[in-house]
Amino acid sequence: MPYYSYYSYGYGDFLANNIYVLLLIPVIILSVWAQAKVSSNFKKYSKERNQRGLTGAQAAQEVLRMNGVTGVNVLPVSGNLTDHYNPTDNNIYLSDGVYSATTVAAVGVAAHEAGHAVQYAEGYAPIRIRNAFVPVAQFGSKFSFVLLLIGMFMYSQSLFLIGIILFSFTSLFQFITLPVEFDASRRALVGIDQRGLLTEDELSGAKKVLSAAAWTYVAALLMSLVQLLRFVLIFAGRQGSRD
């Protein structure tokens, strides 16, 4: 390969990496802030007992009942913030600090997971799309970096492009996840309010817990998009050098 091609490749990679770092810094700050807010808000409102003395499990059942959803079990699971809804067995799993806890945070988190169960029961379109996209996203996540690394170091544009396409699947999956998470929180807060599970002040605390959690998904998407942009810029720079 001619010297100028090596030089052009190096400059293109250098420019792409510098743009990547400039964009990455604010995204990292956002990620750290979001994680800190999740931790601090959950810790704060895990110390505040709700006036009705409802456990997280009871709150989840109330949200399900309000939406006419049956056949969903609410079960405990070990760990911290390991709460999730599993569509495979149609169960809601609540962590140690949520299942039997009578705190404001427990009600908010449990109601959010119940919101996911309601989404499945109602056939909410974004969650159906996300579920259908899971195998594609998993495949992309598993093989994208291998092809990107091989393509980058062997200067193979075809392999690098395939790696970019596969990596874009994971970014798209994270993008689809956003409306699913925001809608689950919306359903949770509506259920809490309409069922009177929390007082007005307590509801405000639950909103803060769920809002902080939502920002972690936003940060994850931005991180993925910044990485994708870096790969696209490197590819475009090398392609231009070849031309």
How does pLDDT run across 143-183, given as a tens digit for each residue? 999 999 999 888 899 999 999 999 999 999 999 999 999 99
User: Whole-model pTM?
Assistant: 0.86
Beta bridge partners of 92: 74, 85
Total domains in the fold of the chain: 1
pLDDT of residue 8: 47
What percent of the chain is modeled with pLDDT above 70?
Answer: 93
Asked whether residue 13 carries a pLDDT value surpassing 80, the answer given is no
Considering the candidates 113, 181, 200, 202, report the single residue annotated as catalytic.
113
Question: Within a 10 A sphere around the Cβ of 38, how many other Cβ atoms?
Answer: 19
CA dihedral 139, 140, 146, 150 (to 10 degrees): 130
Contacts for 197 with CB less than 8 Å, ≥ 6 apart: 50, 52, 54, 59, 62, 107, 111, 191
Residue pLDDT, tens place only, 77-87: 999 889 999 99
- Specify whether 202 is catalytic: no
- Residue 220 dihedral angles phi and psi, to the nearest 5°: -65, -40
| Tokens at 74, concatenated | 């609410």
Domain hosting residue 183, numbered range? 3-242
- Residue 156 dihedral angles phi and psi, to the nearest 5°: -100, 105
